[in-house]
Structure 1
Amino acid sequence: MLITSRRLRAALLAAAAATLVAATVPAPAPPVALGIGDPLFPHLGNPGYDVRAYDISFTYSGSNSKPLDAVTKIDAVATERLDRVNLDFSRGAVASVEVNGERAAFETAGEDLIVTPGAPVHEGWPLRITVRHTSDPQPKEGPDGGWVRTRDGLAMANQADAAHRVFPCNDHPADKALFTFRVTAPRGVTAVANGLPVGGAEKTADGATWTYRTRHPMATELAQVSLGRSTVVRRNGPNGLPVRDVVPTADRTRLEPWLKKTPAQLEWMERQIGRYPLEAYGLLVADAETGFELETQTLSLFERSLFTRSDLPAWYVESIMVHELAHQWFGNSVSPRSWSDLWLNEGHATWYEARYAEDHAKRPLEARMRQAYTQSDAMRAQGGPPAAPRGPAPGKKISIFRPVVYDGSALVLYALRQEIGKEAFGQLERRWVRDHRDASATTADFTHLASEVAGRDLTAFFKEWLYGKKTPPMPGHPDWRTEAAKTSAKAGPARR
């Protein structure tokens, strides 16, 4: 057929040209879960932006088995051009997402919420994300962190990779941020969170809204919100530090003998390594069986049974209290850059736990370290060297918390003190928490600083002690011996 119309001919040519152009433009890549390549959790965290602050609102119905309504606002800066933004989030329904005030498309892949703004966000631009969602306290396939259901409410246990099961975030300690929590709960329920209260509770029709804000940046894994029929007990610590404990109201009197020990424990820690680095401290005593205690920032989480069991000696309970307190310096104020740096958190917390037991209960540090040395090859065989730990067992994310990161890593610090002397070791500890306050740091940062303080290169020492499959000879104790490596080592105390 012959086409004689010029207009029709032009339209057909234009359509053909458009089809040709469309055929040469590649389709957008499908959304995929991303990560920052952490050696132990490769899909955790997301590239392309730096979070400065979170503002998170929860509305609690009073039932700890029903999802909470929530709004998470993220204030970040793009560090590269972003056509899509990946957030870690895996347990909740998303209703809507906004980016810089405009509605954005979203979908999921793996444990990521993938957001597509209406236009690309360029490097250096502000990135303000608002996600309206639910936060589900009931795990779908067994407990794996996030919300902890207590007898009368909820608490959080997000270590190591579970904050994104509570709220959308960049869930890695390399990206610390300030936090604001706004928690609405019915009458009779008390809400407490990290940081300090902002004003008093605002009354609502059937309850109240509490607001808390941190003054120091915090890793997502250290976030804490407590909801329950609780009493908040306040006292002062060193230099007027606010100390507030959150306890089941029925146990207020029973727990006081333990709670009142915190100010003196703070004073003891400050004598070792300097002034407390955060804005507040206290204990959150939860009526739940978790199997661990946890250093959530400014408000450490403890099982009620730790303080009510009759079979635990007082010195042991106090040393566990100091373990979580020491984490406020080691792990919270100075956070790990990657999860392979976990030994810096747990090794130091175990070190001060053991030092406190020596000072207050005549439990010799050297005896504990000699026992750890005996078992050290077995610990390394089970969990890997302290600074190169094995990844988590399938389906058991918290299995990275093996004995080698506790006594096995405290043993490294003992060996270092033997190698460089007590005075240099003390200087190193104080400089470490001072120089890296409010930041994330690496094993390399620690070993470089140790060499600087010691005035000599300690590379060979750390290579053997942190990365060797076998435990090196202990400086000053040539008679110490390890047992033959076994398939498992004795589990450490119930703390993280």
Structure 2
Amino acid sequence: MLHTSRPSGRRLRAGLLAAASAALIAAALPAPAPLGIGDPLYPELGNPGYDVLSYDIGLTYGGSNTKPLSAVTVIDARATEALDRVNLDFTHGKVASVEVNGARAEFATTGEDLVVTPADPLPAGSILRITVHHTSDPGGSQAGGWVKTGDGLVMANQADAAHRVFPCNDHPSDKAFFTFRVTAPKGVTAVANGLPQGRWTHGEQVTSTYRTMHPMATELAQVSLGRSVVLRRTGPHGLPVRDVVPAADRTTLEPWLKKTPGQLAWMESKVGRYPFETYGVLIADMDTGFELETQTLSLFERSLFTQPGYPQWYVDSIMVHELSHHWFGDSVSPHAWSDLWLNEGHATWYEALYAEEQAKQSMERRMRNAYTYSDGWRAAGGPPATPRRAAPGQQIGIFRPVVYDGSALVLYALRQEIGRSAFEQLERAWVSEYRDSSASTADFTALASRVSGRDLSGFFRAWLYAKKTPPMPGHKDWRSDPVKAPRAG
């Protein structure tokens, strides 16, 4: 029987009044426009006026990696100033409706922003809940966000692509807790950051829920959908380790996967206890040209482990590179993207140190080679702490050699300058003092001066900001030859 209901006169009048109020507010405001927090490399990324506390992201996957997913994103935030509007970063999806604190809100899209006008202004200090009903589209170019795999989808959001998947404040300085509720057909394995919170079957679909126990930057979000198997083992101190790999490759990949607990123990011996609730390796059949330190579940290309020609020590060291990011880049996130050298310089440092200690690949030889190229890298991409912006349409163009080996070279020079003991103390202090937060280059240099008992401002000014590479402490004979440096993107 068809049943219809009509709202009471009181409810109808209240709804009309709210709609009229929202319309009057919207009419009094200037036209919606993209905002940003003025990041030196991505000036329109992030949004002022609020601090996100948590995301609850519901995704429904139909089994096709080309069709949009239906989605609901719920954002809990605190207003840090009085707001008539709230800007969210979002693109590559269609918005059906928006609510703020349970009331329908006006919205508009402009540039890569979703601009929300609530029915009533939001006072500073107030808590707000924004609910966005939208789609999440994996179609189009593979410029980040959803990445198609041989059997599904994964996320690769670094540096500025999380808002291609879900509405957010897409900047690492605003970290938050995440909950993922992923619905997929039976036979599709859905895995996300954090720990599983439950799994429910309803008809031919399964909903899996995951939650992070530590705050996370949007660029580190991960949801994997595919014909995968989840393999479980135990790391140091009983840490749960779960790997997500193509089911057909389970046996082939096991010799690599079983190394993770030992690599975790090695990293803990250098910088202290692993900072999150779980770890694991996500291996996907994709062709991106990079690996990615998505929080608690590092993303790797299948070919890294199956393609012949890579030396064993090299693959091992790349695994450690992504693992070490969980201290440097994930737990301690960059305050601005120009602080990227702290992420990649440290990950490259521990990659090289692991190769030296486990496979006798000389750190000094690698650093001398980097010194030879350093002036050329600085000329092509800028100094380590002031990298040049990426070219339009090339979001990952900031990931140049100068922020990898060129920045590990800065750390090598620092160890030469202050000594091994002080350097190792600094590394442990850095990941301890700034755990679960974001930190800047200025924070690192100040901590280095405090730990070493010396004013290192001149040292860092030369090594991080100069166009030319300073002389290497203890190796005055090293020379940098910009002519020899390979081209950097």
TM-score normalised by length of structure 2: 0.94
Q: Residues 90-119 of structure 1: CA distance to partner in whole angstroms, max 9, x if unpaired?
A: 010101000011000000110000000001
Q: CA offsets, 1:355-374, max 9 Å, x none?
A: 00001111010000000000
* Residue identity in the other structure for 1:360: Q
Contact kept? 2:374, 2:485, Cα under 8 Å: no
Q: Which residue of 1 aligns with 2:211?
A: 213
Q: What code does the residue aligned with 1:402 have?
A: R
Given candidates 293, 296, 299, the residue that maps to 2:297 is: 299
Distance in 1, matches of 2:239 and 2:131, equals: 34
Distance in 2, matches of 1:57 and 1:27, equals 34
Structure-2 residue corresponding to 1:3:
none
Aligned partners of 2:281, 2:49: CA distance in 1, in Å? Answer: 36
State the distance in 1 between where 2:482 and 2:316 align.
Answer: 33
User: What residue number does 2:408 align with?
Assistant: 410
Q: Which amino acid aligns with 1:100?
A: N
> CA–CA distance in 1 between the matches of 2:488 and 2:79?
46
Residue 120 of structure 1 deviates from its aligned partner by 0.2
Distance 1:240 1:452 in 2: 34
Take 2:442 and 2:309, find their aligned partners in 1: how far apart are those partners?
Answer: 41
* Shift of residue 485, structure 1, vs aligned partner: 4.7
What is the deviation of 1:490? 6.4
CA distance in 1, matches of 2:108, 2:465: 41
Specify the SS of the correspondent of 2:46: coil
Check whether the contact 2:328–2:347 (CA below 8 A) recurs between aligned residues: yes
Where does structure 1 lack aligned partners over 5 or more consecutive residues? 1-25, 492-496
Q: How far apart are the structure 1 equivalents of 2:252 and 2:271?
A: 32
> Given the superposition, is the C-alpha separation of residues 460 and 485 from structure 1 closer, same or farther in structure 2, using an over 3 Å criterion?
farther
CA drift of 1:489 comes to 3.7
Question: How far 1:484 moved relative to its partner?
Answer: 3.0
Aligned-partner SS, 2:454: coil
How far apart are 1:394 and its partner, in Å?
1.6
Aligned amino acid, residue 88 of structure 2: L
Deviation digits for residues 293-337 of structure 1 (CA, Å, limit 9, x no counterpart): 000000000000000011111000000000000000000000000
Answer yes or no: is the 8 Å Cα contact 2:38–2:45 preserved in 1. Answer: yes
Tell me the alpha carbon deviations over residues 342-393 of structure 1, each in whole angstroms, 9 at most, x when there is no partner.
0000000000000000011110100000000000000100100000000011
Counterpart position of 2:194: 195
SS at match of 1:198: strand
- Deviation for aligned residue 1:127: 1.1
Q: Report matched runs for 1:260-299 at 5 Å.
A: 260-299=258-297
2:339 corresponds to 1:345: no
Are 1:129 and 2:130 matched, yes or no? yes
Give deviations 1:122-144, integer Å, cap 9, x for gaps. 100011000000000012xx321
**What is the Cα deviation at residue 207 of structure 1?**
2.0
- The match for 2:444 among 446, 460, 473 is 446
Deviation sequence 1:172-207 (CA, Å, 0-9, x none): 0000000000000001001000000003x1001112
Task: Tell me the distance in 2 between the aligned counterparts of 1:383 and 1:485.
Answer: 15
Alignment match, 2:149: 150
Code of the residue aligned with 1:95 in structure 2: it is: A
1:375–1:489 contact (8 Å) kept in structure 2: no
Kindly state the Cα deviation for residue 89 of structure 1 after the two structures are TM-superposed: 0.2
Q: Does the 8 Å CA contact 2:32/2:115 hold for their aligned counterparts?
A: yes
Aligned to 2:13: none
Counterpart of 1:100 in structure 2 is 101
**Secondary structure at 1:385's aligned position in 2?**
coil
Match in the other structure for 2:50: 49
Pair 1:85 & 2:86 matched: yes
Matched, 1:250 2:251: no
Task: For 1:54-65, list aligned pairs within 5 A.
Answer: 54-65=55-66
Match in the other structure for 1:7: none
Matched AA of 1:123? A
Task: Give yes or no for contact 1:381–1:485 (8 Å, CA) kept in 2.
Answer: no
Q: Matched residues in 1 for 2:122 and 2:483: separation? A: 53
Indicate the SS of the match to 2:482.
Answer: coil
SS of 1:357's equivalent in the other structure is: helix
Amino acid at match of 2:100: V
SS in 1 for 2:461: helix
AA aligned opposite 1:93: K
Larger radius of gyration: 1
User: Per-residue CA shift, 1:142-184, capped at 9, x if unaligned?
Assistant: 3210001101000000000000000000000000000000000
SS in 1 for 2:92: coil
Code of the aligned partner of 2:312: A
C-alpha distance in 2, partners of 1:395/1:71?
28
The answer to whether 1:327 aligns with 2:325 is: yes
Structure 2 counterparts to residues 382-461 of structure 1, below 5 A:
382-461=380-459
- The one-letter code sitting in structure 2 at the alignment partner of 1:46 is N
* 1:447-470 alpha-carbon deviations (Å, 9 max, x no partner): 000000110100000000000000
List per-residue Cα deviations over 1:264-302 (Å, max 9, x = no partner). Answer: 000000000000001110000001111100000000000
Following TM superposition, by how much is the alpha carbon of 1:28 offset from its aligned partner in structure 2, in angstroms? Answer: 2.2
Gaps of 5+ in 2: 1-26
Name 2:17's counterpart in structure 1. Answer: none
* TM-aligned CA deviation for residue 486 of structure 1: 6.3
Question: What letter is aligned with 1:171?
Answer: D
Distance verdict in 2 for CA 1:180–1:373, change over 3 Å: same
Task: Please show how residues 303-382 of structure 1 align to structure 2 within 5 Å.
Answer: 303-382=301-380
> Which residue matches 2:12?
none
* Kept in 2: contact 1:382–1:487 (CA 8 A): no
Q: 2:464 aligned with 1:463, yes or no?
A: no
Instruction: Specify the SS of the correspondent of 1:86.
Output: strand
CA gap of 1:396–1:490, structure 2 versus 1, over 3 A, is closer
* Structure 1 residues 229 and 297: CA distance shift in structure 2, 3 A: same
Which amino acid counterpart does residue 370 of structure 2 have in structure 1? A
Q: Which amino acid aligns with 2:76?
A: D
Alignment-derived partner of residue 228 in structure 2: 230
1 CA distance for matches of 2:42 and 2:486? 23
Q: Distance in 2 between matches of 1:425 and 1:171?
A: 33
1:321 is paired with a residue whose SS is: helix
SS of 1:430's partner is: helix
Whole-Å separation in 2 of the counterparts to 1:113 and 1:464 = 41
Structure 2 residue aligned with 1:240: 238
Q: CA–CA distance in 1 between the matches of 2:126 and 2:426?
A: 39
- Percentage of matched positions with identical amino acids: 72
Letter in 2 for 1:132: H
1:487 deviates by: 7.6
Q: Distance in 2 between matches of 1:486 and 1:357?
A: 25
Q: Which amino acid aligns with 2:301?
A: E
Structure 2: distance between partners of 1:294 and 1:41? 20
CA distance, structure 1, for counterparts of residue 483 and residue 402 of structure 2: 13
Q: Quick one: distance in 1 between partners of 2:488 and 2:135?
A: 40
